[in-house]
Amino acid sequence: MVSTIYQLDTPLNNPSENSLTEVEVVDATHPLYGRRFPLISLSHSPQGSRQVLVAYQKDILVRIPVCATSLCTEPPPLSKTKLSFDAVSELLDLAKQLGISFNKGGAK
């Protein structure tokens, strides 16, 4: 005779249905910056980093570091920046307009 073992989701770090909240990605360098997602759970990795599991779309869950979200107790460092391809292109176009050329040794 084969017995059936039913597996249930363990509610260890999961919020209750009544307290399901949203988190916002507040780190400007994160690709999902400014977006809000329903919180599914909180977790800790063996290395000590904390992560949230959020519902990205109907059937897609995404892990995001807690420090990139509104749940972070410390604000993200102000010195963090991320240059986009468009921003660098605009900077180079401006330099060309101003007559600035670049070589391996720096600007001329």
What's the half-sphere exposure (Cβ side, CA atoms, 13 Å) at 86? 0
46-70 pLDDT, tens digit each: 777 889 999 998 889 999 999 999 9
Write the burial class of residue 1 (CB in 10 Å: 0-12 exposed, 13-18 middle, 19+ buried): exposed
pTM of the full structure: 0.55
Residues 27, 52: Cα–Cα separation, whole Å: 14
Query: How many residues are recorded in the chain?
Result: 108
Q: Tell me the CA distances in angstroms from 9 to 6, 16, 41, one per residue in order.
A: 10, 12, 11
Phi, psi of 2 (to 5 degrees): -100, 130
78 versus 97: the higher-pLDDT residue is 97
Model pLDDT, residue 107: 55
Could you tell me the residue ranges of all domains in the chain?
A: 17-107
The whole-chain average pLDDT of the chain stands at 78
β 60-65/50-57 pair status: antiparallel
